[in-house]
Each structure stands twice: as structure tokens, then as C-alpha cells.
Structure 1
Amino acid sequence: MVKYTAEDKLQAVERYLSGNESSHEIAKSLGTDNKAILKWVKQFEHNGVDAFIKRCTTYTQEFKLDVLNFMTENGTSLNETAAIFNISAPSTITVWKKQLETHGIDALQSKKKGRPTMKKEVWKQTKQVPASGSVEALEERIKQLEMENEYFKKVECLSSRQGNITKQDKAQVVYELRHKYPVKALVKLAGIPRSTYYDLVRRMNQPDPDADLKAKIKAIYEEHEGRYGYRRIRDELANHGQKVNHKKVQRIMKGLGLKCLVRMKKYKSYKGTVGKIAPNHLDRQFKAEAPNGKWVTDITEFKLFGEKLYLSPVLDLFNGEIITYTIGSRPTYSLVSEMLEKALERLPEAHQLLMHSDQGWHYQMKQYRHTLESKGIVQSMSRKGNCYDNSVMENFFGIMKSEFLYMREFESIEHFKIELEKYINYYNTKRIKAKLKMSPVQYRTHFTQAA
């Protein structure tokens, strides 16, 4: 077997680090294998030139324990550990590990060189199983029960917070208890192999590769005050040039405990037939090819400070934009007529508008129908008791209540109205619609510019 000097090893490392030759080429020229070259490179990276200087190979008991504990806690391989601690032969660590497991900590004590005297006793330490019913057996059982009690308490705590327990969670609990109880006994209790535990511990000590992504997701979630679910957050990330699979965003949000709010029911304005019912011309054809082609409207109710408020908006099915709205303390006809008057101000002279609503009494009124007719607008109504015929408007009310009403605190009715105006503006100009991949106003602007 060829022995290489420190100079040979250093030259081989320099050749490899220059990038002009591969480890296989260098190994072939020196008559060795590429694993030896890579080992020298690793030793040089951790210890520099000192890695190749011949040194005393007598290691203290404390040093051996430090090496073994480091390898256990960080899950490093024999070669990595040897390179880090500047140990020439990785197999030496294997010997120490076996000595510790077989004969205990005293086996790591450095022995004096030379032949022992005849008078010295030679003994072998063996682990004796305490007799059943003895004090030692009782103490061992108590220790086992203490370990089980502490382990399951920590696991139960994790379970109550996140519902299910993963291998990573079990490894974390074992890692926390490793100084108090043997790792071998803990991993057996956790039901995970030791190799799996060491691998998970090594990953725990490494930087989180998704740290930046998690920070961005959390920032977007907080910016939109919890209104965004994982799909809209994915779209927002894409708008900033970072494409991430929606399943990964969902997984990260679940891990961070970020959830979108639920939706609530709306106010029902149907009071029977009080006027004329229009046919369902919309017929659930919720897609519009251009702005001001299909509008939908409805009324919803708020309860604040012991009072009721009623909101009457108009929504364009082309892009989901809120055209206008009115708000009042009573669901009177003037609430709807004023809304219609404001909406018609934004309607161009040349149009083919269809106006859809439910069969609420406001929309059956003669004044409402005649206003639509005078402007050449086709009136459409949902079928009786069928909320799905106007589901887009229902959907907006659900979003608005969950994102705005139920997650904010208001000082007064007037404060609520001010904040509502801000939210409608946010909804139109900034909030991403999942189907459009942008806000309603942005989508309308792009369409107008393209036309």
C-alpha cells in the first residue's frame, strides 16, 4: 500500500480545488482511488494544512466523548466527523463508539502504552440485569416510567396544538430529552429507527430552505389582514416573479397556522309577488365578454351597535368590480333607486346591458322596471328561492363579511361606513381575484388597452 506524504496530499488538494482536474483523474495519476482525494479535500476544508501534519494519535477520554456526542447530535457521517475533528482514520471513531456501547465510558480512558504488570487485574465490565423484585430493578422501572411520562406529556402538548404528530415532532421530543434519558430507549419509545432520528436531527440543525418563502407568505397574509387563502397568496407570489406550487403554499400556511376566514349568510329581501317578475335571462351565464355587459345586484344586512344597516351594491360580471353601492339604516326602495341612479351614471350610451337580481320586492317595483326600460336595459331575475341563480353576488357578500365585517372592530356607524368605503376600494383595485390573477380594475384596464 502506497503511503503519501503531507506534501503529496496538499498538492492533490490544490489540483482538485483549481477545478482543472476531477478527483478521478488526480487519483489515477497518484495510484489511489477518488475517495481518498475527496477525503483529503474534506480534511483540508476543515483544518487547512494542519490536517496533513503528523501528530500524536493519543486522544483523551473527553475528546472521544465530544466526537461521539457531536456525531450523534448532528447526524454527521464517519468521514465528515473525522474531517471536522482532524482524525486521520474514520474507523477509529467506530472503535470508540463500540467501546462506549459495550463497556461504558471507562473504556474510552486512554491506556498506558507497554505491557501491563502481572499483578494488575484484568477485568471485563459487563452489564448485569438486576434481579426481579430487587431495589435496582425497582429503580430501573421507576426511571422507565418517568421517561415515558415526560415523553408522552410533550407529545400530547404538540398534538393539542397541531392535531397530528409527525416523525419530525417525535424526533424533536427525543432531542429535548436526550440529556436526561438514553437516546436508544427514547427512539424505541417513539417508534422511530435511530438512523431516522439522527437524520431528522441533522436537518433540524440546518437552515430552513423555505425561510424566505415563509416570510413572504406571512407578509402577504398580514398585508391583506387574513383575507387571502393559499390560492391568492400563490397568485400574489407569481405577480412578484416567484412561482410556487399551490400545494406547497397550502402546506406552509398550515404549518404557520394561517387560515382564511369563513363566510356567513346574507339578508333575504324576498316578500312574495308585489309587482312584476322578470324572466331569468341570465340563466347562470356568469361570464361576460366585455365591461358593462352583465350587472348583478342584491341587498345584504349588517348588525352593528344594536342597529341594522343595509348595503345595496352593483357588480359587473366581466371582472367582478363593484360599480357602485348605497348604504342605509332601512331596506327602503330609495336605497335601491339611489344605487341604480349612481350606477347608470357610469353606463356608456352605447350598451347592451343585462341587469340581474333576485325576486326581492324592490326589483319588482314599477319605478325600478321603468327606469331599466327607459335606458334600454334588459331586466333579469333569479328563480324563486334559488340563490345559485345570483351566486356571484352571494359570493361577494360572503367575501366582504368574512374579510371585513367579522374581523374588524368599529368605533361607530360612521366609522364603519368610512372603513367600508376603503374596503370596496381595496376590493376593486388591489385584491387579487383568483380567476383573473389580478384585481378587477387591473383586469378591466388591461382589456381596455388591448382593445
Structure 2
Amino acid sequence: MAKYTVEDKLQAVERNLNRNESANKIAKSLGTNKQAILKWVKQYEYNGVGAFIQPYTNYTLTFKMDVLNFMIENGTSLNETAAIFKIPAPSTISVWRKQYETQGLDALQSKKKGRPSMKKEFNKQSKQAPVKGSTEALEARIKQLEMENEYFKKVECLSSKQGKITKQDKAQVVYELRHKYPVKALVKLAGIPRSTYYDLVKRMNRPDPDADLKAEIKAIYEEHEGRYGYRRIRDELANRGQKVNHKKVQRIMKELGLKCLVRMKKYKSYKGNVGKIAPNILDRNFKADAPNEKWVTDITEFKLFGEKLYLSPVLDLFNREIITYTIGSRPTYSLVSDMLDKAFERLPEHHQLLMHSDQGWHYQMEKYRRALESREIVQSMSRKGNCYDNSVMENFFGIMKSEFLYMREFESIEHFKIELEKYINYYNTKRIKAKLKTSPVQYRTHFINAA
């Protein structure tokens, strides 16, 4: 594949995002493939123009572990992870993962370039160690044991109080013992570089410059009951007048031990061809220019108190708002028909709408198709066994289950239904959508007011 300049990549991204040209068309005009265009777009979405400036590639052990841990915790792909961390080749991450799995942590340590220094070897040989068994050797050994004993006692005391020992804690212990033992020997025992120790000592008496920001981040995290990851917290900070880089928010959340929950799987309603299959008109074009142009729907399952509940919502692709929903103890057709009746109340008369679903048996039924035809709604269906064709609805189910179902304890089925209504109201009116930078209802209101 030919090399492309920063200008080439930016033009390709602009054509895809602003002119809505397909990745295939752009790739063909540039003599590359669709995957390259999609990778450039993803890199630009996460890091802007800086994504295409050649980064420094001598990655540290800490950076490599941060990348691998992020990918494991968030379930991101190699391409997406590379875009987030500005790594030019996703295969680099794959190599790190394989090295770590087969050879352990040491395999990720950066190797020093160039020839080894002969001066160090000469100095080591020239230093005369105490003769084994001599009084000097015995005294040195006693001093070493005393130092180790005092150091580990202090570290053990800290460990029993807070459970985890940080570099700052180790530096504090070294600082307390520095008058009795050589700093060089202490930092070696602590396993931290001398430069790191002196840097941490300088910071010990300084007030934390991020104290207020940490408190704000923790407050936002707790206000949303752990549902927000670092991107949404960054957006909420921006809404409150604080512009903070997403990497800094991510680092602080890691320091504070704040993690967003992972997503879960959904109920499948496919039972084969039991009616008429509609074509995939939506074709993964999940963008809508105005409210009520494209709706998507599906059914998901809950298991509570030994019973099953089924949720059937409708989502507007314009702002990802939940238009309405029904919930029942059985996935019958009435679950879907009642949902349609409620949704139609929100739809203006003679309004052009596309309704997309998977090939679940409910959506193949003649009753369902006739209900759509009565309102002149165009029906669209995902391809068989392809969850990505309705990925926005899948995404909502994953978010809702991880942020609501698996985080809460419920007293009864009725209590669950009450809390579900509260959550969907929160999702629509308060929860920030990362791509919108605001909540769905706020985005729709702003659009209507600006029209």
C-alpha cells in the first residue's frame, strides 16, 4: 500500500464525515482499501489531526500495560484501541498481547539500543568487595539485614492500613530511612529508580493541583451510579465549564479506582421464516437528519425472582431517544403491537418514517406489517443472523443492562418496573450520549429551537 500524507488522510476523513461519501468510494479513488479509510476516520474521531502526526514509538512498559488493560476492560477491538492511543499499526498491540501471554511482563520491557558501556563493567570490576568471611563483610551483611527489616516493617504497616502500596508510599518510607541508610541501597530495595524517588519527594509537600478536579470527577461518577466512563465524564465536565483532556480524566479515574461496567448479551427472538421478510433498507445507515425519520426496535429479556420479563422499546436514530416501550411476562405479539400503538401517538400524521428491526417472528407477522402500512411506514429488517445491522438497539440494551439491571437490587417485579421507568427517563433526559455531547432530549430540543 502506498504511503499517504497527512493532507491525504484528512481529505479522506472530511469526505466521509462531512460529504457522506462511502469508504469504498474514497478508497477506490485513493488506491487503497475500505479498512484503511475506516481506520483513519476512527483515529480522527478519537485524536483529531494529531492522530496523523507520526508519534514517538519507543513505548514504555507502563504504556503497553495500560493499552492491554484498556482493551481487556472495555472490550475494544485492535483497530479501535490503536486509534484511541495513537498507535499507527494495530498489529503492534497484537504483538504486545502475544508477548505478554507467552513470556510475561519482562517481554514488554523496552530494550536499550546501542552497544553496552565498557566503562560500567570496568568500574564494577575495579571496586573491591569485602572479602567473604571478613569482619567488614559481616558488618555489611548485618547493616543490609537491618535496613531490609526496617523497610519491610514500615511497608507492611502501610499495607495493612490501605491494602495497596504505591510508588508514593515506597518513596515516603525511603525518605524516612534516608538518614540511617544510603538512598541508593534503599531505592534498590524499594524497586523504584532514584530519579523517580527524588521527583516524588519534591511533590510530597505540594498540594495536589488536581484535588478539585478529582472531587468533581468522583461526584459525577457517583451521581450517575458508576454508569459513566471517562468520555462521558469528560463531556459532563465540559458542560460544567471545565475542558479537560480525556486522557487526563481516564488517568484520574484509574487512580481513584473508578470503572464503568461492561455490557451483556441480549435475548434472541428469531424462529425462522414465519412470515414475510422485509429488505434491509436501513443498511447500517444509522444517521438521521431530523426526529422521526428512522426508528429501530427489538426485544430483550430480563430474569428476576425466578421469572422472565421482556422489554420492547422503540429508539429514534436521530438522537438515540427511547420513544416508548412495553414490558411483559411473555414475548407475545401484543407486546409489540401495544408498543406500536404507543409509538404512533408520538408520530405526526402522514409522516415519512423508516421502521427497522431484526427478523424476529413478531416483525414478520402480517398484523405488524399491516400496522406499519396503515401509517405509510416503510419496513426494514436486518439480514439473518447479523446483529450489526441493528447495532444501535443492541448498544442500548447493553448499556441499560450494565448500568441498571446488574447494578441494582430490586424488591419485586413491580419495584423493578418502577425503577426501569425512572432509568429510561434518566437515559432520555439526563445521561450524556458521547457522540451528541448532551442527552437525547436536550439534543432534540436544541434542534427544534434552531430550526
Q: TM-score of the superposition, structure 1-length normalised?
A: 0.66
Higher deviation after alignment, 300-309 or 165-174: 165-174
Task: Show CA shifts across 1:45-68 (max 9, x none).
Answer: xxxxxxxxxxxxxxxxxxxxxxxx
- CA distance 1:250–1:157, shift in 2 (3 Å): farther
* 1:144 CA drift (Å): 1.4
Q: Is 1:324 aligned to 2:334, yes or no? A: no
- How far apart, in 2, do the equivalents of 1:220 and 1:280 lie? 40
What amino acid is the match of 1:381? M
Q: TM-score of the superposition, structure 2-length normalised?
A: 0.66
What amino acid is the match of 1:172? Q
- How far apart, in 1, do the equivalents of 2:297 and 2:151 lie? 58
* 1:204 CA drift (Å): 1.7
Partner SS state of residue 407, structure 1? coil
Aligned CA RMSD, in angstroms, stands at 3.0
What amino acid is the match of 2:398? G
What residue in structure 2 maps to residue 265 of structure 1?
A: 265
C-alpha contact 2:316 2:323 (8 A) present in aligned 1? yes
Q: Is 1:417 aligned to 2:423, yes or no? A: no
- How far apart, in 1, do the equivalents of 2:388 and 2:348 lie? 29
Partner SS state of residue 324, structure 1? strand
C-alpha contact 2:232 2:433 (8 A) present in aligned 1? yes
- CA distance 1:342–1:198, shift in 2 (3 Å): same
Q: Is 1:379 aligned to 2:384, yes or no? A: no
Task: Show CA shifts across 1:301-340 (max 9, x none).
Answer: 0011111110000000000000000001111111111111
What amino acid is the match of 1:415? H
Q: Which has the larger radius of gyration?
A: 1
Task: Show CA shifts across 1:96-139 (max 9, x none).
Answer: xxxxxxxxxxxxxxxxxxxxxxxxxxxxxxxxx98753677445
Partner SS state of residue 433, structure 2? coil
- How far apart, in 2, do the equivalents of 1:176 and 1:419 lie? 53
- How far apart, in 1, do the equivalents of 2:289 and 2:167 lie? 51
- CA distance 1:152–1:389, shift in 2 (3 Å): farther
What residue in structure 2 maps to residue 432 of structure 1?
A: 432
Q: Is 1:276 aligned to 2:270, yes or no? A: no
* 1:142 CA drift (Å): 3.8
What residue in structure 2 maps to residue 296 of structure 1?
A: 296
| Structure 1: gaps (5+ residues) | 1-128
- CA distance 1:192–1:297, shift in 2 (3 Å): closer
* 1:424 CA drift (Å): 0.1
Q: How many residues get paired?
A: 323
What residue in structure 2 maps to residue 172 of structure 1?
A: 172
What fraction of aligned residue pairs are identical, expressed as a percent? 90
What amino acid is the match of 1:375? R
C-alpha contact 2:350 2:375 (8 A) present in aligned 1? no
- How far apart, in 2, do the equivalents of 1:176 and 1:280 lie? 69
Superposed counterparts of 1:7-406, under 5 Å: 132-133=132-133, 137-138=137-138, 140-148=140-148, 151=151, 168=168, 170-175=170-175, 177-178=177-178, 181-190=181-190, 194=194, 196-406=196-406
* 1:199 CA drift (Å): 3.5
- How far apart, in 1, do the equivalents of 2:364 and 2:167 lie? 62
Higher deviation after alignment, 189-198 or 271-280: 189-198
* 1:344 CA drift (Å): 0.5
* 1:175 CA drift (Å): 2.9
What amino acid is the match of 2:327? I
* 1:147 CA drift (Å): 3.2
- How far apart, in 2, do the equivalents of 1:256 and 1:279 lie? 49
Higher deviation after alignment, 177-186 or 233-242: 177-186
What amino acid is the match of 2:434? A
- How far apart, in 1, do the equivalents of 2:305 and 2:193 lie? 59
